[in-house]
Structure 1
Amino acid sequence: MPKAQMAVSTPRRGGLTTAGGVLSDHLGKRVSFSCFILTLVLVLARGVSGGLMQRRNVPLISDDVMALLVFKAEIIDPNSVLHSWNDIDTSPCNWTGITCSPITGRVTDIYLVGLSLSGTIGRALVKLEELQTLSLANNNFTGMLNGELAQIPDLRVLNVSRNALSGSVPAALGSANKLYILDLSENELSGPLPPEVFSFNCQSLHYVSVSGNQLEGSIPASIGSCLEVQSLNFSSNLLSGTIPDGIWALESLQDIDLSFNALTGPIPVGVGFLKNLTSLRLQSNNLSGVVPAELGNCLPLQHLNLNNNSFSGELPIQLGNLKSLITLNLGANFLAGSIPSWVVNMTAIRELNLAGNGFSEQIPNFIGALNQLSLIDLSFNNFSGAIPVEIMSLQSLEYMHLAHNSLTGGIPDFPSSGCGSLRSIDLSGNLFDGPFPVQILSCSSMEYVGLAGNSLSSSIPRELGYLSGLQFLDVSSNQFTGPIPDSLGNATEIRVLRMQRNDLSGPIPAQLGNATLLIELNVADNNFSGPIPKELGQLTNLEVLDLSYNSFSGMIPGELGSLTNLMVINVSHNSLEGPIPTSGIFSQINSSAFEENTGLCGAALNLSCGTFPNPMIIDPNDPNSIPGTLSPFLRSKRSQTILSVSAITAISAAAAIALGVIMVTLLNMYAQTRRRSNIFNIDSDPQSPSAAEMAMGKLVMFTRRSDPKSDDWMASAHAILNKDCEIGRGGFGTVFKAILAHGETVAVKKLMVQSLVKSQDEFEKVVHMLGNVKHPNLVGLQGYYWTDQLQLLVYDYVPNGNLYSQLHERREDEPPLSWRLRFRIALGTALGLAHLHHGCAPSLIHYDVKSSNILLDDEYEARISDYSLAKLLPKLDTYVMSSKMQSALGYMAPEFACQSLKITEKCDVYGYGVLLLELVTGRRPVEYMEDDVVILCDYVRALLDEGRALSCVDSRLVNFPEDEVLPIIKLGLICTSQVPSNRPSMAEVVQILELIRPLVESRG
């Protein structure tokens, strides 16, 4: 059982530390003395009083009773489950968890599983000479594993899994020559795995598991001596090196799990190559080479998982022999080609995962012949064409993920028999068009619908609200129109509702307040109008609310202030008015969440909500209306205003003056336009600029949404001269916030490296390449401006600042970033870097990964900035060690300082690892004390070695989930390995985080 599943019933490690540490100090002498006294009393009772007992026909107390009572004296039993263990009985055979031999009456089995026992496992059990099974799994035992247990002559099962044992694996375990099962999994064991454990004495060993520890070093080659072993599980450790050849000679081996380590090299193959193998799990390592054709000889193979490695090439045809295969997971590698036709031979297959590779061409229709298929994931490849209709007829299919390809056309219908068991469909990031796929509405089991980033149109059907199990709906970045169906209020299980960047309109239905499990509601960048419903205040689980860039009017409902879980709210760019509520999150939120609402006031905007006098109204029909008095109420539209002759004269004069000013302004604008047209050239075809254009200064805008007019640019470029618009400085330049004339907000980076920037040709080549890089977690480059004296880069504007300021510069009265948000930022950053490394051709290196380059958008999603800007420099190696890069001190990989080592993507991985530790600890990468300098990764690594890794967690995080945080700490330390080859790729990092994400999201 993984730690994530046992965490519910397992106390925090703090409690274990107390039991193992404080009790060890506080009770050590008492326990030892008690054991001594107890043993002495029992010996005296047996020896000195032996004659008396025999004369009275009272049997002597047995050695087994004595040993078990000494064992009990050294442990803590909080629930008194061992109350039956007492010194009155002369035999332990009726005690809880004890089984005896019917022939000899000696103890043969100890089964104390999941009883919350703690303390240490002493040597008293060695006296149980006929003990065969010792199972103490799923407790809280601490201290080192006692190697003397191997002296028990008949010991066949040793299971101490899911405890908190530390220290090294005793080499003495290799002397237990009758051992059949050895399970040390899910502890805190460290150091290398001793080769002696798998010496010539291991002939009886059938099952070995050391998974879920902190073991390091290589897998011992001596494992090849255990000829009868059937199952090997070394997963989730820090093991490195290559897979020893001897494993593949173990003909009895049926199950191999070496996943989640740092193993390298190819899969070694031999002549026999494990013909009895049923499961091979090697995912999340750094294995490379081709997928060996010899795997096709493992005819009983049912589970093959090579996910998240560096395998390349095409798949061998011999894999078509694996007709018993149930799971085929080859995701997150560098495989290429098309889906081979032999896949149709795998008639038993249930899970097919080829995501995150370079597969191309069309998805073959023979996939529809795999009738047992329950999961198909072809996301993040280069597939094109339409979805085969045959796939839609798979009645066992539960998960269909085809996201982020180049699929086109409409989404095909399901057959008349319906959509079977489909629970999750993700078609986001493709080129689909046409209406909303109404066939989804017939899927009564549907939980997850991802359609984001396509060109789908039409309205959103009401019937969506009747999918009772719907939990996730993302239709963002499409062309949907019409209102939000009020029936979505009936979808009471929905957690995430994303509709941003469409053409939706109308009011927000009050019925959404019934969806009380909703965690995220995002309707930004649409055409919604009307008031914000106060019923949204009923969404007590809501964490993210984004209503920005719409036409909402009226006041912000005070009910939203009662949403205690709300972490992000954005109502900017609307027509709201009145005071901003002061309760709840509104007392802590940044003013940018309210900007561009001219009628709002309050402390968040530093704008007083004062009382304004009523206008002067004179009603000719009201004899009591006297000029010069203030009317208490505004009149109807029929009301008229009587103006004096002098007032009319004054207004006429003002109008004449204003008309003159307008005429002069228009003439000036015309003259300036002519002059600017001689300075700026808008390049609609940036591939072939003329020499004259280059000489005069050139503005190029890449994105369709940006209107590249020189007038717009000059209006916004004014901000570059305005220091009040400066929003950041970095090693490459100063960044200003600018608003284009048509209203779009952009960020303009004024490069400060003019003497280092390449020639215009090289500059434009690099910038055009960066302009083609698109990913949701990267800050988009919209365009550039070039002269010999000035270079500007135009980026998307990201409103919530950078991660560094959010972690280290927040006010004391501001709440810290929650663990859920920190994890989301970590995952988003990993996805962005993985795209640079694996999704771009050629791959791109960031060179400067640090928290100040991780920007946060309206939804607190990570957006990476300044990626690959170092490619603009002619002497990259010199520059990265210059003062321009010293702001990255603490993030820089060791190879930056070594001229003989190549700068690779692994440098970014190192910086990302530091960033992970920064997110967990809330500490800066380097901290300067009075007489010391603390390097963050060294500090955390030392705590991990001491078994106190969780003590480094940010003290502002309360009730953090240990089973989520601890793997992140370990991942950060692996990423910051001093040896580049030991660091995972960013694709591997993403896969690890994706395994943790369901746990994070399930806890809300």
Structure 2
Amino acid sequence: MKMHFTPHFLFLLFAPILLVSADSAFNDDVLGLIVFKAALRDPNSKLSTWNEDDDTPCNWVGVKCDPTTNRVSALVLDGFSLSGHIDRGLLRLQCLQVLSLSRNNFSGTINPHLPRLGSLQIVDLSENNLSGSIPQEFFQQCGSLRAVSFAKNKLTGKVPDSLTSCSSLATLNFSSNQLYGELPSGIWYLRGLQSLDLSNNLLEGEVPEGIQDLYDLKELNLQKNRFSGRLPGDIGGCLLLKSLDFSDNFLSGRLPESMKRLSSCISLSLKGNSFTGGIPDWIGELKNLEMLDLSANRFSGWIPRSIGNLDSLSSLNLSRNQFTGNLPESMSNCIKLLSLDISHNHLSGHLPSWIFKMGLQNIYLTESSFTRRGNPSSLTSMPASYHGLQVLDLSSNSFSGNLPSTVGGLSSLQVFNMSTNNISGAIPVSIGELKSLYILDLSHNKLNGSIPSDLEGLISLGELKLQKNFLSGRIPAQIEKCSSLTSLNLSHNKLTGSIPSAIANLTNLQHIDLSWNELSGSLPKELTNLSHLFSFNVSYNHLHGELPVGGFFNSISPSSISANPMLCGSVVNHSCPSVHPKPIVLNPNSSGSNSGTSSQNRRHKKVILSISALIAISAAAFITIGVVAVTVLNVHVRYSMSRSAAPFTFSGGEDYSCSPQNDPKCGKLVMFSGDAEFANDAHNILNKDNEIGRGGFGVVYHTVLRDGRSVAIKKLTISSLIKSQEDFEEEVKKLGKMRHQNLVALEGYYWTSSLHLLIYEYLSKGSLHKLLHDENSRDILSWRRRFKIILGMAKGLAHLHQTNIIHYNLKSTNVLIDCSGEPKIGDFGLVKLLPMLDHCVLSSKIQSALGYMAPEFACRTVKITEKCDVYGFGILVLEVVTGKRPVEYMEDDVIVLCDMVRGALEKGKVEQCVDVRLLGNFAAEEAIPVIKLGLICASQVPSNRPDMAEVINILELIQCPSEGQEELA
């Protein structure tokens, strides 16, 4: 039989040979780029113009050639969504000067041989997924390299010593990685360096002296590391320095006097360290400063008058220090100042009048102790109109008097915070003119009067905080016009009247606190429409009647409605009185002649009898209808379950070829990205042979779409509980927008009245449960891979919690592993497809995995929160480390994993807590704290469990930097 191979296939097959001896049909540049492309994934077909049959690549997308030599001089593929490894094929581009591959998804390590391209000047591999250390060889042959950027990757290890020999380097950026260790002692030998950015790493030790030799240095950014000690005393020798950032380190001591020579400096940030002493007078000599940030240090003393010489200054932040005295009058000379933050200091005196005359946009004076000395200050210095001010924060001072009636003149104001002062009087009606206001905080004052209905003008308002005042009157119904409101706090006032049902129209509300008032009436039933509600507190009022049923109120905490004795409902353990029609009783001795008494009495008896009979008949009919309804519902449920359990056929029952426009019973297939169809044998996709898993929500099948894409299809077996089609589709589309590297992507859905399918990405490696417990699996997880799985699960779960989704059903069968070993959490958000169920129903119908269920599921009085997921995560951590199931049944015993690990750890027998397949090959300095973290997460008390953001921080601290270089096989 004659076999036919395409030229492209032959090229890929023999590419390694061609690299040694290139065919005459291809020049080196075409060959090198085609080999480079062959190792890539190009989902958006950005490289479709790259054709191996072309004689030259000069017309290819992203390729630039030298017009004289016709050789490739630049390869710029920024933001092309490419993935894969950076192949050695690029080494054939001998005339390449610029290599820029930023903002892609390249993985693997940095190719140490790239600088062998003798003409290479610029290398930009930033914003990818490169890992491993920066190779020493890369800078041992740096040749003509002028600019190198590896920023925003996943690089580990130390800054290579070989870097110090690259005297031609002008720009170096290793920021936002996980580099550790000290700076190389010869770092300042790079005499031509103009920009150095090593920010957002784990670098430590002292910043070495000798920096003064960098005569051309213009930008130095070492923020967010772990540097300690003092600033280099000779830093003032960098006379061209324009931007200097040492913020968020552990530096201490006083500012070196040589800094006064940095007259070219435009931006100086030293925030978040432990610098001491005062701000030196020479600060005024830095005439070009536009941004000065000395916040969160230990500076003390008076703010020097010389700061008024900085007439180019636009942003000044001296917050969170120990400054005393008042603001110097000379600061009024800083005519370009737009943002001033002197909050959290020990300043005294009155608020300077010039502060409102400078055109400032942001003013932060919170907790600055103004007016501690002398008489309390009023707010009369506030201007009648001020069109540039956006943030005014005067909270936690001692201001008194009334709010100016002209406050509405601050037309650009976005944040107005006057909380924790001594302000009295009424809220001015002009406040409703602040159309741009997002935060209004007047809490903890002495305000009185009513809440003005003019608040309806605050169309951008997101947070309204008026708690702890003396406000009275009713809550204005006009508040519904504040449609952007997410947080409403009116607690600890003297408000009366009922809660307006108009509040239910504020569909973005997440937090409501109306506690400690004198509100009466019943809670509006419409409050159940607030689908984003996270907290609701009406305790200590005079409310009565039945609690709303549904939505948030099915799981509301009893403390949130306490001290309202007339409220009734299951949450307060107070049943609501039944309402029955009152019997009509006619008085036989009422007006009428004696002669008609007997006949009238007979008529009365008949009336009474007939009414009683009607009541009895009605009650019997009601009971009968109830029994019939329950019977019908049971039959309907059984019928629905039998239909959903039937094979998925598109002929007969569900016709896939029908038109949804013409036939409402037709199945509706929706894909979130692009169009797709089931393959020709789609009627067989739900056959037993294609089944790959089962869970609390349904059965999962594997199939292939017409375009060749593999997908996993979950047939929901809870159809009888699912919401309407409209609600179902709305919730599914929200889940379809959830995209995270540690979450299984929902790619589409299929709907009929009796069959509901969810279409997910297919992960061929299967579940974490299979990898850990399948005896036939040859894939033994290394410690490094297990740690990666634990960290990935934490990140995925944290993302769910950030979007207010509780998983409810976390277990190892719901964690899938992709081809790179990254874990992906599945089955999230499916509870939202159901009507709101109490947690006992959830635990019995959905959370069926033994050992993962948080203890609060068994207690009706405890609110279910994200902490139930944290419990399941803790059990998963122990399962991953030990390789054991949460509950294991022995011949004469039952072993609970959590108890077993805790006991072994207390006895110091760590080897019993680690999978036997890992013994002798795991990092004990990581394993022990990880085990302890798992036990803390699985605490019986929800409040003792950390949230997932804290878990991620702990895991990243636990992770040993030296271990990060281990290959994830």
TM over 0.5, yes or no? Answer: yes
- C-alpha change, 1:306 and 1:820, in structure 2 (3 Å) is farther
d(CA) in 1 for partners of 2:279, 2:951: 35
2:447 paired with 1:477: no
Q: Given that residues 323 and 345 in structure 2 are in contact (C-alpha distance below 8 angstroms), is that contact kept between their aligned partners in structure 1? A: yes
Q: Deviations over 1:539-569 (max 9, x none)?
A: 1111100010011111111111111110000
| Paired residues of 2:146 and 2:170 also in contact (CA < 8 A) | yes
What is the CA-CA distance between 1:487 and the residue it aligns to?
1.9
CA distance in 2: counterparts of 1:521 and 1:423, whole angstroms: 21
Equivalent in 217, 237, 240 of residue 201 of structure 2: 237
User: C-alpha offsets along residues 554-592 of structure 1, whole Å, 9 cap, x if unaligned?
Assistant: 111111111111000001101111000121110011101
- 1:400 corresponds, among 352, 356, 363, to 363
Separation of aligned partners in 2, 1:442 and 1:77: 55
Is 1:177 aligned to residue 162 of structure 2?
A: no
What's 2:211 paired with? 247
What is the match of residue 140 of structure 1? 105
Aligned to 1:410: 377
For each residue in 1:386-429, what CA deviation from the matched residue of structure 2 results, as whole angstroms up to 9, or x when unmatched?
1100111012x111000012113335456878324110011111
Dislocated runs of 4+, deviation >6 Å: 31-34, 41-44, 612-622, 917-927, 938-941, 943-946, 951-955, 965-970, 974-979
The verdict on how the C-alpha distance between 1:417 and 1:495 changes in structure 2, with shifts beyond 3 A counting, is: closer
CA distance in 2, matches of 1:469, 1:328: 28
Q: SS state of the match for residue 348, structure 1?
A: coil
The amino acid that maps onto 1:179 is L
SS of equivalent residue, structure 1 residue 245: coil
User: Could you say what the CA RMSD is over the residues aligned between the two structures, in angstroms?
Assistant: 4.0
Q: Give secondary structure in 1 for the equivalent of 2:31.
A: helix
Partner residue of 1:561? 528
**407, 412, 416: which is aligned to 1:449?**
416
User: 2:74–2:99: 8 Å Cα contact kept in structure 1?
Assistant: yes
**1:943, distance to aligned residue in structure 2 (A):** 10
Give the conservation status (yes or no) of the 8 Å contact 1:524–1:549: yes
> Which of these residues, 152, 168, 179, is aligned with residue 186 of structure 1?
152
Post-superposition Cα deviations, 1:857-892, rounded to whole Å, max 9, x if no partner, equal: xxxxxxxxxxxxxxxxxxxxxxxxxxxxxxxxxxxx
- Provide the rounded CA distance (Å) in 2 between the counterparts of 1:320 and 1:944: 53
Distance 1:242 1:155, change over 3 A: same
Secondary structure of the equivalent of 1:228?
Answer: coil
Task: Please show how residues 447-526 of structure 1 align to structure 2 within 5 Å.
Answer: 447-526=414-493
- 1:535 and 1:525 map into 2 onto residues whose CA distance is 21
What is the deviation of 1:611? 2.2
For the residue of structure 1 that corresponds to 2:313, the secondary structure is coil
Q: Is the 8 A contact 1:427 1:452 kept in 2?
A: yes
Q: 2:402 aligned to 432, 435, 439, which one?
A: 435
Q: SS at 2:260's partner residue?
A: helix
Partners of 1:621 and 1:286 in 2: CA distance = 95
1:100–1:106 Cα contact (<8 Å) kept:
yes
Distance 1:341 1:482, change over 3 A: same
* Structure 2 length-normalised TM: 0.62
- SS of equivalent to 2:307: helix
Identity of aligned residues (%): 34
What CA distance in whole angstroms lies between the structure 1 residues aligned with 2:958 and 2:54? 57
Q: Does structure 2 retain, via aligned residues, the 8 Å contact 1:413–1:439? A: no
Tell me the distance in 1 between the aligned counterparts of 2:58 and 2:212. Answer: 44
CA apart distance, 1:187: 0.6
- In structure 1, the partner of 2:766 is none
Q: Which amino acid aligns with 2:89?
A: A
**Cα distance, 1:463 vs. partner?**
1.6
Q: Which residue type is aligned with residue 93 of structure 2?
A: L
Separation in 2 of the partners of 1:307 and 1:624? 93
Q: Write the deviation string for residues 8-38 of structure 1: whole angstroms up to 9, x where unpaired.
A: xxxxxxxxxxxxxxxxxxxxxxx99974434
CA distance in 2, matches of 1:968, 1:114: 32
User: Residue 262 of structure 1 corresponds to which residue in structure 2?
Assistant: 226
Does the CA-based 8 Å contact 1:472-1:494 persist in structure 2?
Answer: yes
The count of aligned residue pairs is 645
Which residue in the other structure is 2:699 paired with? none
1:364 deviation in Å?
2.2
Aligned residue for 1:391? 355
**Residue 14 of structure 2 corresponds to residue 37 of structure 1:** yes
Partner residue of 2:122? 157
Shift in alpha-carbon separation, 1:61–1:553, aligned structure 2, 3 A: same
The counterpart of 1:334, out of the listed 298, 302, 306, is: 298
1:101-140 superposed matches below 5 A: 101-140=66-105
Residue 71 to residue 560, structure 1, CA distance change in 2 (3 Å): same
The 8 Å contact of residues 278 and 300 in structure 2, kept in 1 or not, is answered as: yes
3-state SS in 2 of match to 1:167 = strand
Contact 2:306 2:330 in 1 (8 A): no
CA distance in 1, matches of 2:801, 2:315: 34
- Between the aligned partners of 1:183 and 1:569, the Cα distance in structure 2 is 49
Aligned-partner Cα distance in 2 for 1:66–1:945: 51
| Residue 150 (structure 2) pairs with residue 204 (structure 1) | no
Q: Provide the rounded CA distance (Å) in 2 between the counterparts of 1:271 and 1:525.
A: 55
Are the equivalent residues in 2 in contact too, given 1:943–1:952 (CA < 8 A)?
Answer: no
Residue 584 (structure 1) aligned with residue 551 (structure 2): yes
Residue by residue, what CA displacement relative to the aligned partner does 1:468-527 show, whole Å, maximum 9, x if unpaired?
Answer: 110001100001111112222221211111000000111111111121211100000001
User: Which digits, 9 at most, give the CA deviation of each residue in 1:601-648, with x for residues without a partner?
Assistant: 00111111122789999999994899xx9xx9xxxxxxxxxxxxxxxx
Q: Secondary structure at 2:127's aligned position in 1?
A: coil
Q: Deviations over 1:48-80 (max 9, x none)?
A: xx5xxxxxxxxx421100000000000110000
Alignment partner, residue 365 of structure 1: 329
**Separation (CA, whole Å) in 2 of partners of 1:438 and 1:73:** 70
Task: Work out the CA distance in 2 between the residues paired with 1:154 and 1:426.
Answer: 55
Offset, 1:939: 10
Is the alpha carbon distance of 1:241 and 1:918 closer, same or farther for their aligned partners in structure 2, counting shifts above 3 Å? farther
Aligned equivalents of 1:126 and 1:181: distance in 2?
A: 18
Shift in CA distance, 920/32, structure 1 to aligned 2, threshold 3 Å: farther
Query: Larger deviation: 504-513 or 414-423?
Result: 414-423
Which residue of 1 is the match for residue 815 of structure 2?
Answer: none
Equivalent residue of 2:502, what SS? helix
Q: Report the Cα distance in structure 2 between the residues aligned to 1:361 and 1:619, rounded to whole angstroms.
A: 86
- In structure 1, the residue matched to 2:494 is 527
Q: Distance in 2 between matches of 1:478 and 1:111?
A: 59
CA distance in 1, matches of 2:306, 2:361: 23
**Hey, what's the Cα distance between the residues in 2 that align with 1:622 and 1:426?**
76
What is the aligned partner in structure 1 of residue 185 from structure 2?
221
Shift of 1:944: 15
Pair 1:819 & 2:802 matched: yes
Q: Which amino acid is the alignment partner of residue 270 of structure 2?
A: L
Give the conservation status (yes or no) of the 8 Å contact 1:452–1:475. Answer: yes
CA distance in 2, matches of 1:36, 1:590: 66
Shift of 1:177: 2.1
Asked whether the equivalents of residues 93 and 99 of structure 1 are also in contact (C-alpha less than 8 Å), the reply is yes
Contact 1:393 1:414 in 2 (8 A): no
Kept after mapping to 1: 8 A contact 2:384/2:406: no
Q: List gaps (5 residues or longer) in structure 1.
A: 1-30, 51-59, 633-814, 823-914, 956-964, 980-1004
Change (3 A) 1:199 1:117: same
CA–CA separation in structure 1 for the residues paired with 2:875 and 2:299: 39
The aligned counterpart of 2:274 is: 310
Which stretches in structure 2 are left out of the alignment for 5+ residues? 1-7, 593-599, 609-797, 806-866, 879-896, 915-921, 939-946, 962-969
Q: Tell me, in whole angstroms, the C-alpha distance in 2 between the residues paired with 1:65 and 1:588.
A: 65
Alpha-carbon distance in structure 1 between the residues aligned to 2:99 and 2:936: 36
Q: Which residue, out of 916, 930, 936, partners 2:900?
A: 930
SS at match of 2:237: coil
1:133-171: per-residue Cα shift (whole Å, max 9, x none)? 000001111111111112111110000101111111111
Q: Is the 8 A contact 1:85 1:96 kept in 2?
A: yes
